[in-house]
Structures are given as C-alpha cells and as structure tokens.
Amino acid sequence: MSTMKNIAILCSGGDVSGMNAALKRFVEYSKRKGMIPYFVKEGYEGLIDDRITEAHYADVAGIISRGGTIIGTSRSKRFMEAHYRAEAIGNLRKYNIGYLVVLGGDGSFRGMQKLSDECDDINFCGIPSTIDNDIAGTEYSLGVDTALNVIKFSIDSIRDTASSFGRAFVIETMGRECGYLALVSALTSGAEMCLIPEIPYDLKAYESLFKKQQKEGRHYFISIVSESLHKTKEITEWYKETLGVEARFMVLGHIQRGGNPTVHDRLMAFHFVTHGIDAMLAGEKSSVICYNDGGFDRKEIADVSFKKATIPDDLMQLGMEYGHLE
C-alpha cells in the first residue's frame, strides 16, 4: 500500500452527467479520510502537462446539478507514448500523490493500467463513466440514466410532431458499437422500430408489419437507430419509398451527454467514488469499481477493459421482438 497521503482525480474521454457529483464526493470524502485532494485538469493531457491543483470545498459547492465536468476532460493521444506517461508519473510524485481516481471508459482504464504497471508507489482506481454503457464487468456506468432521460424527453417531444403530421421520425442515438441506449430508449418510449448492432433486422418483416398497421389506422412511426449502423438516412428514405409516409431524421448527438444529472446518477456518483477511495486505501493497486446485482465490487482492469460488453439477456429478448408480426 502506498505510504503517500495525497489523492487526485481526473476525467478522461467523453464527459457524462454525474461527473460533478463524483468530484464533490471525492473532495468531501478525501478530506474526511484525512487526505489532501487534488484535481487534474483535462484528463491525461493535464496529467502530462502538470495541470494539477489542490481541490477545496469551495470548488465543488453548487456543482452537483451541473452536467459535464468542472475539471475538463480529453482524449489524449500523447498518453499512448511511454515517455509522456513517465512525465505524468513524475507530476503525481511531485505533489506527493499516492492515489489517483480515473473517471472514464474502458480506453481510459487501459491507459490507467499502463500507468499502474509503470510505477509501484501509486494506487489507481477506475470509475466507469460513459453514456454508452459498454464497459464489460459492470451493469451500470455513470451518466447512463441521465442520457436515457434526455433521449426519452427528446423522443416524447418528437412524437408530438410525428402524430400531428402523420410522419415517420428516425432518431439516431449515440452508444458507439453498443446498442444499449437505443434499445432501452426504444422500449421505454414506445418506438415502433429499433435497430441496433447486436440484433439482426429484416426490413421486409418491418414492411409487412407496418403495412398491416397502416391498414388498421396507424399514421405515424418512431424509429430508433444506433449510430454505429450508419443507417439513419437510409431508413428515412425507406419510410418514404416503402410506406409512402413523410419522413424526417433526427441525430440527437451530444445533447445526450449533457444536462441536469438525474437523482440516480448523483447517488451512483457518490457510491462509486466512496468505493473507489476505499479500495485504494485498502491497498488495491489498480482496480475498477463495478456495479452488478444491486451491489458494488472491485474488478481487475483486465476483466473490464479487454472484454466486450454485452446487453443483458432480458433486454435482448425484448429487443428481438421488434419487427416481427404478432
């Protein structure tokens, strides 16, 4: 276990709503544990360039309701190079930092693992933070609930116009290669179509189903399509040509990453950070805090960052009902 007393935190990769709640808990819990907390600005970039400052209560006052991260984030290419990581380690040592919390996704954790392998006097802990919910080993990543609620709000609004005009709307959601956001959003918004990379789809089956529904009086459609499929415009044209309905597409984009964090994300941020700091103080050299079956546990980075995340079976079952005649 590290003999150093100071502790730092950084955000890496895409920001999520809930990061500020995590920063607040970090400062308050570190101080409670008798440590001096530090912020690293703009992720690994700031770690390389020594943008490290002591964190105070005043820094985190009033931030809990804000999306994004007050300390900034980055996707650092330089961090892939060993000599920059050596500078990062040097900077941590300069401030007598023996513990580092990393809020990020699996790419950020792979970087963290490298850093951990290259020094034996600093403990590291990862907190899964990505709207994509694509980290293997944890059912939940910080920011997912807020993103889902932003998407829900957007689809509910779009439905008003879709139903008023009798149009089809094709809505593209983020998530990289993972269809979790799209699937949960489609189910909870009552969408008629859901296309995600994990489930093969058949447009012919959708055509038969939708034509039958049109005969029965359906006059508008909502479709949710994962960004990784790159099919948004194609599906919009399909609606016009195959079903003869007016169609529009909406790429929700970065609106999904921001906004007032939900109660769930604020609370999860508190729990994740508490468990993360406890893990490092207990001597864990390099771990990720995961949430499964209603509880938190610590996992090796290898069990989190080098495996493919899957969508839970019960959601997949529901997802597979899309596009099939009843």
Q: Which residue has the tokens 């729990």?
A: 271
- Whichever of 27 and 269 has its CB closer to ligand F6P, that residue is 269
Whether 261 and 17 have beta carbons less than 8 Å apart is answered as yes
> Is 176 one of the binding residues for ligand F6P (CB under 6 A)?
yes
Among 18, 37, 175, 323, binds ligand F6P (CB under 6 A): 175
Closest C-alpha to 48, from 92, 102, 114 = 92
Whether 222 and 191 have beta carbons less than 8 Å apart is answered as yes
Cβ 107 to ligand F6P, closest distance in Å? 9
Q: How many CB atoms lie within 10 A of CB 299?
A: 18
The angle, 0 to 180 degrees and rounded to 10, between the axes of the packed helices 180-189 and 144-165 is: 50
> Is 154 one of the binding residues for ligand F6P (CB under 6 A)?
no
Residue 220, classed as helix, strand or coil, is: coil
Site for ligand F6P in 251-310 (CB under 6 A): 257
Among 8, 64, 170, 174, binds ligand F6P (CB under 6 A): 174
DSSP letters of 39-86? Answer: EETTHHHHHHTT-EEE--HHHHTT-TT--S-TT-----SGGGSHHHHH
- Whichever of 98 and 258 has its CB closer to ligand F6P, that residue is 258
> Is 14 one of the binding residues for ligand F6P (CB under 6 A)?
yes
Closest C-alpha to 112, from 123, 245, 121, 188 = 123
- Whichever of 166 and 253 has its CB closer to ligand F6P, that residue is 253
Cβ 51 to ligand F6P, closest distance in Å? 20
> Is 192 one of the binding residues for ligand F6P (CB under 6 A)?
no
> Is 130 one of the binding residues for ligand F6P (CB under 6 A)?
yes
- Among the options 132, 134, 145, 265, which is catalytic? 132
Cβ 305 to ligand F6P, closest distance in Å? 14
Closest C-alpha to 227, from 249, 205, 204 = 249
- Whichever of 176 and 211 has its CB closer to ligand F6P, that residue is 176
Judge whether 132 counts as a catalytic residue.
yes
By residue count, the chain amounts to 326
Question: Would you state the structure tokens that stand for residue 176, as one six-digit string?
Answer: 């990289």
Site for ligand F6P in 83-112 (CB under 6 A): none
Quote the CA–CA distance of 275 and 292 in Å, as a whole number.
14
Q: How many CB atoms lie within 10 A of CB 20?
A: 25
> Is 132 one of the binding residues for ligand F6P (CB under 6 A)?
yes
Q: How many residues form the binding site for ligand F6P (CB under 6 A)? A: 9
Binding mask 203-242 for ligand F6P (x = CB under 6 A): ------------------------x---------------
Q: For residue 132, give the H/E element and its range.
A: none
Question: Would you state the structure tokens that stand for residue 184, as one six-digit string?
Answer: 């949960």
> Is 131 one of the binding residues for ligand F6P (CB under 6 A)?
yes
- Whichever of 60 and 252 has its CB closer to ligand F6P, that residue is 252
User: Contact residues for ligand F6P (CB under 6 A)?
Assistant: 14, 130-132, 174-176, 227, 257
Question: Which positions are catalytic?
Answer: 132
